[in-house]
Amino acid sequence: MASFVDPTRLDPRSLDPLLDRNVAWAQAKTRDDPTYFQRMAETQTPRYLWIGCSDSRVTANDVLDLDPGEVFVHRNIANVAHTSDMNLLAVLEYAVAVLKVEHIIVCGHYGCGGIERALGEERTALVDYWLQPIVMLYRKHRAVFDALPGPQARLGRMCEINIEMQVRRVAATPLVENAWVRGAALQIHGWIYGTHHGLLRDLGPTLSSLAERDALPSIDERVLHPVEPRSSLRRHAIEAFAAGSPSF
């Protein structure tokens, strides 16, 4: 006769609660849509590649309200596009050449822990090698950032600049260049997410050709002369950011 196991006395190292949540989730999905997993198993045809931060609060499908299969995802600390990162390059190649995505979204977020570390003084871990391009840009323009009103303003501005820098890096990869030369309908976007209100903001501009990429001001110019985007489609998001938050 099987003995009763008190769930309150389970090994605290056990991940059974997560497995139980998975069962409940799968049952709910099929209850609402009996063919859901059948469709998911057949193929993926995403239109979007999301290059985002590893932060557990910023997940592409949740933020965009998209089902699995609709967005292809690559994430790392501080959403950095290292051109020597074989993981990123493999994801980028598969997304562009095989999945034929139409949009690459580089998305960071305010209050990013990786960016915050890059603005600090400690350099003792492997992550600091990863963040070095951000560190170097910050040091180069330290006087500009120091002139901003407080650490949160500096962090927020660097989060924005980092996204713009990574958009330029993605747009400079031979994979993307070749796609544009072939006439692929591929666009690159730079977005930022506010964890304090859940809204996305398009930092602009959208890139869809070599000419548009080459016409961009340098990242150094963007640090020295920031431009505030005023898209009417995102006015509600801009107003929310302007309202102020301890995360910005």
pLDDT digits (tens, 9 = 90+) for 170-188: 999 999 999 999 999 999 9
Active site residue 234: no
Does 104 fall in a domain? yes
Tell whether 153 is covered by a domain: yes
9 within a domain of the structure (yes/no): no
Active site residue 128: no
- Find the radius of gyration of the CA atoms of the chain: 21
Query: pLDDT tens-digit profile of 56-94?
Result: 999 999 999 998 889 999 999 999 999 999 999 999 999
Put simply, whether the predicted model's pTM sits higher than 0.85 gets the answer no
Tell me, yes or no, whether 121 lies in a domain: yes
pLDDT above 80: residue 106 = yes
The one-character DSSP state at 52 is: E
Q: Does residue 124 have a pLDDT over 90?
A: no
Answer yes or no: is 76 within a domain: yes
Q: In terms of residue numbers, what domain contains 213?
A: 46-242
Q: Could you write out the DSSP letters of every residue in 92-116?
A: HHIIIIIS--SEEEEEEETT-HHHH
- Compute the average pLDDT of residues 195-221: 93
Three-state DSSP class for 13?
coil
For position 126, which CATH number holds? 3.40.1050.10
Which residue is catalytic, options 109, 154, 157, 234? Answer: 109
Q: What is the DSSP letter of 225?
A: S
pLDDT of the residue at 35: 85
Averaged confidence pLDDT in the chain: 88
Instruction: Please compute the mean of the pLDDT values over residues 114-140 and round it to a whole number.
Output: 94
Beta strands 187-193; 200-202: pairing state: antiparallel
55 is catalytic: yes
Q: Rounded distance, CA 224 to CA 182, Å?
A: 35
- Residue 37 falls within a domain, yes or no? no
Structural domain includes residue 197: yes
Q: How many CA atoms lie within 13 A of 36 on its CB side?
A: 12
Single out the catalytic residue among 21, 39, 47, 57: 57
Instruction: Assess whether 65 carries a catalytic annotation.
Output: no
Q: What pLDDT was estimated at residue 1?
A: 47
In total, how many domains does the chain have?
1
The Cβ of residue 6 has, within 10 Å, a number of other Cβ atoms equal to: 6
pLDDT of res. 242: 65
Residue 57 in any domain: the answer is yes
The active-site residue out of 103, 107, 112, 157 is 112
3-state SS, residue 53: strand
Check residue 248 and give its pLDDT. 47
How far is residue 140's CA from residue 180's CA, in Å, rounded to a whole number?
32
Q: Determine whether 53 is an active site residue.
A: yes
Express each pLDDT in 230-241 by its tens digit. Answer: 444 455 666 666
Rounded Cα gap, residues 113 and 54, in angstroms: 10
